[in-house]
Amino acid sequence: MPSYNPPLRDMQFLMHEVFKIEEEYKALPKHAEVDADTINAVLQEAGKFAANVAFPLNISGDEEGCHLDKTTHEVTTPKGYKEAYAQFVEGGWPALSCDPAYGGQGLPFAVNSALYEMLNSANQAWTMYPGLSHGAYEALHAHGSDDLKTKYLPKLTSGEWTGTMCLTEPHCGTDLGLLRSKAEPQADGTYKITGNKIFISAGEHDFTSNIIHLVLARLPDAPVGSKGISLFVVPKYKVNADGSLGERNGIYCGGLEHKMGIKSNATAQIVMEDAVGEMVGQPNKGLQAMFVMMNAARLGVGNQSLGLTEVAYQNALAYAKDRLQMRSLSGVKAKDKPADPIIVHPDVRRMLLTAKAYAEGGRALSTFCALLIDKELNHPDEKVQKDSADLVALLTPIVKAFLTDNGWIATTASQQVFGGHGFIKEWGMEQYVRDNRINMIYEGTNGVQALDLLGRKVLGNQGATLKKFGKLVAQLVEEEGVNEKMAEFINPIAMLGEQMTKFTTEIGFKGMQNPDEVGAASVDYLRVAGHLVFGYLFARMAQVSLRAIAAGNTDPFYVGKLQTARFYFAKLFPETVTLMRTARAGSKVLMDTDAALS
């Protein structure tokens, strides 16, 4: 059976030593009173819930799955899931980072992000039920009318109700301009919505008395394509004027998908038959409102793979220390045993360190983005708000794609450490691999994220936002460029930072002549950008660790951090050389292939 220990020490290292989050929050009036002790206390309790309540249900929930009563259209979740959610609500966890005006606790987003990393390690499928509610909350908070906010936000904040996002239809996934769901205006200002949605995570369950669906649909006179999409809030049960529940709405679960992983999350086929909904935001401007939810979900998906990377690594490390196989190539290490533990073998260490590096780099990026969001939303200086928002926009597709790609690499490497036992269910590793696989697909496949990064976020503004991140790299290089002890961390990012300008310009120029050049290079480009970001963050972690050691701190944590950083730069970061070469190979070898693909 697998185990899980919340990585509180690493979270505290990032928040308090690398990003100095307490000092950052002193500049934000909303969070000025949030100190390290408060953050640590919350994370400790969050870790207890994740490890003691959500984690024990992971394997049993996967085995049992969800069950749909096709007569009532009600879904029963696995044993213990509903009760765990009740504990989650009782502990006030849904309200952690929500607006106090609607009953929230108002804590920083960075704290909430750390909570969800631990929940994802413990049980990704369960975590998706409350996790999706945050996206619905954010969309309504940003674009809902006062009436809609008053009606829905307090219940979403408390966790009494949950929320979903209903985008995908059977004939269209990412290309939302093709959606067909219709919304007919009614005399009372509501709309009757008819259509079918698929792949709706947590679309039906028995956790709460109501589920609030945010639905994309078209008005009768809507323009074709993505410019003719509106957003509607469609509750499972209609809500009366006094806030009580009314009659059942015309939205229900018509089926559950049979999936490779996340089997204990109800991935629903949603049918709408004259379902009554209310518009969120302006007519035909639904994508603007939905993007608030989608971007929150993209960051959340990266967090899901981060959580699985961490728990898979922890179990692979424990197994490698215990499993005896063969002798070390450099001589016997365990003289009192018939064989050495497999952790002595170089390739086993390569797999373990790959998972560890991707977990620690991913956590650093997730924490960095969460702090940027807190500054974007709450900093009194408009320039800081703007710069933070720009960096979050740039980093969001990297979080989603780079962390999920790395999560796949890390979970399969961790499974490989187990050898044949990694393929056997009771060890838990094959579930981590299966559960992680969806993260590379949904909320926009990683190929779509790569196009978003290169086409919109970089070339779309002539590299202006990329230059903002480049300035952060340049500042660190200038600060530590003459420090010999930092050279092994600084030199690689300094070199790649310089190469990125030429690399980006070259692809942009080719893309102006043939747009397929951008599509052909984008996936490789995103991984290069991801390594630049990880390299910057690992250099910052190494900087803090070296300073701690120089100050006389003997905690082996800092030595381990340096060793992980050295492994990352020596064995993972050099992938950028190959990636830039393959990106430059151009579109012809892909597109001039009709005979090969006939």
Residues marked as catalytic: 443
Check: CB of residue 156 under 8 Å from CB of residue 133: yes
Instruction: Quickly count: other Cβ atoms within 10 Å of residue 341's Cβ.
Output: 18
- Backbone φ and ψ for 6, nearest 5 degrees, come out as -55, 130
Compute the distance between CA of residue 344 and CA of residue 284 in angstroms, rounded to an integer: 61
Compute the distance between CA of residue 415 and CA of residue 347 in angstroms, rounded to an integer: 13
Of the candidates 298, 470, 310, the one whose C-alpha atom is nearest the C-alpha of residue 399 is: 298
Compute the distance between CA of residue 77 and CA of residue 62 in angstroms, rounded to an integer: 10
Of the candidates 415, 366, 416, 315, the one whose C-alpha atom is nearest the C-alpha of residue 530 is: 366
Could you write out the DSSP letters of every residue in 221-269? TPPSGGGGBEEEEEESEEE-TTS-EEEEPSEEEEEE---SS-TTS-EEE
Distances (CA, A) of 493 to 88, 391, 480: 42, 18, 12
Q: DSSP letter at 70?
A: T
Size of the chain, expressed as the number of residues it contains: 598
Residue-wise burial string across 120-156, b where 16 or more C-beta atoms lie within 10 A, e elsewhere: bbbbbbbbbbbbbbbbbbbbbbebbeeebbebbbbbb
Crossing angle of helices 556-567 and 346-378, rounded to 10°? 100
CA atoms within 13 Å, Cβ hemisphere of 376: 16
Compute the distance between CA of residue 251 and CA of residue 69 in angstroms, rounded to an integer: 15
Check: CB of residue 383 under 8 Å from CB of residue 447: no
Q: DSSP letter at 43?
A: H
Check: CB of residue 218 under 8 Å from CB of residue 230: yes
Could you write out the DSSP letters of every residue in 268-308? EEEEEEEEEEEEESSTTBHHHHHHHHHHHHHHHHHHHHHHH
Instruction: Quickly count: other Cβ atoms within 10 Å of residue 563's Cβ.
Output: 14
Of the candidates 374, 402, 370, the one whose C-alpha atom is nearest the C-alpha of residue 530 is: 402
Compute the distance between CA of residue 444 and CA of residue 455 in angstroms, rounded to an integer: 15
